Amino acid sequence: MVQGVGFRYFTTSTAEKFPINGYVRNLDTGDVEIEVEGSKEAVMQFLMALKKGPTYSHIENFQIEWKKYENVHDNFFVKYK
C-alpha cells in the first residue's frame, strides 16, 4: 500500500538510471504495479534499488512475476489507470 511517499516518482527517477522500459501505476487496492522490460541484469539491479524505497517509505511485501520479454514499451512512465 502506497500513500503519500512519492513512490511513483521514486520509481521513475530510479528507472532512468538503468537501460529499462515499462511503467509504474497505483492500483485501486493501494498496491503498486510495475512492469519493466530489459536485460535480466538491468531489471535485477532496478528491483534491488526499488526494494530500498524512497525516504519515509516502508516496503513490507515485494512480489516478482517473470514473463517472456515482449518489447512493448519504448520508455519508462507513470501509467494512470
Please pick, among 21, 26, 61, 71, the residue that the annotation labels catalytic: 26
Is 8 marked active-site? yes
Give dist(CA 57, CA 18) in Å, integer: 22
CA distance 51 to 75: 21
CA 67, 16, 53, 46 dihedral sign is positive
Catalytic residue among 8, 21, 61, 75: 8
Q: Identify whether 26 is a catalytic site residue.
A: yes
Q: Which residues are catalytic?
A: 8, 26
